[in-house]
Copies of this chain bind each other. A is one copy, B any other.
Amino acid sequence: MKTLVVVAHPQIDSSTTQQFFKSATENLNNIDYHVLGKDFNVDSEQQLLLKNDRIIFQFPMYWYSAPGLLKTWLDDVLTSGFVERNQNVFSNKELGLVVTTGSAEKDFQAGGRENFSISEILKPFEALANKTNMKYLTPLVVYQFLYLKPDEQQQLLVDYQQYLSNPHFQHLNGQINWFIEQLQQKITQDDTNDTELETLMNFLKEQQDTLEDLQWNLDLAKKDEDSY
């Protein structure tokens, strides 16, 4: 799976959050990390869209939407003619969002300070996915990054890496698979006899077997229930 991350941040160099994301991608393969500037070539941007399977828009939320930088890019690059000519290509793609906000998670609900939920606010992007027949992924929303504790940052790092590179990040089994792959890759790359890593990998594989057993038994139990 190839992933395009379209990053739109007007002051990217002074953004701690964006630096965090950038460094999180360094050990990942098949990632096209694409930071937007004011000037771009429509043709080459369209080629980038075509050749990647997962398209991710990464931006800070400004007035409940993407910065003008990304909106202008969308208007100019994702023309309706381009989308229509490539209908079949787009229908095999996924659309994800990595959104950072200065407000807390609890603010985004009826009666809260922001009054509307994230799902409501990001509806235009869901509508875009709907129109282009891309699969809309649950957005990865990072609330108040600067308040995150070290272990929360560590969790975010893994979540972010999976959001970019794990084809099945929404399923537990897919998550374990992804970890095993990452470990295998690390062991191969480093060409070491790191027994600690090998042990961890075997532990994960066992966990996965247990998980598959549980899933099988659960399916069986559910089938029984359905027959009543």
Which A residues form the contact surface with B (CB < 8 A)? 10, 62-76, 78, 114-116, 120-121, 123-128, 130-131
Contacts and interface: CB of A to CB of B under 8 A. Distances in A.
A115 B128 contact: no
A144 to B, nearest CB: 15
Contact of A68 (B64, B73, B131): B73
B123 A120 contact: yes
A124 B71 contact: no
A10 B127 contact: no
Given A65-B65, A68-B72, A114-B127, 18 more contacts: A10-B75, A62-B71, A62-B74, A62-B75, A63-B71, A63-B74, A63-B124, A63-B128, A64-B123, A64-B125, A67-B71, A68-B69, A68-B70, A68-B76, A114-B130, A115-B127, A116-B123, A120-B120
Contacts of A65: 65, 71, 124
A64 B114 contact: no
Nearest to A115: B130
| Chain A interface SS verdict (over half) | helix
A65 B64 CA distance: 11
B74 A72 contact: no
A61 to B, nearest CB: 9
Contacts of A114: 127, 130-131
Contacts of A116: 123, 126-127, 130
Contacts of A66: 71
A73 B67 CA distance: 10
Nearest to A127: B64
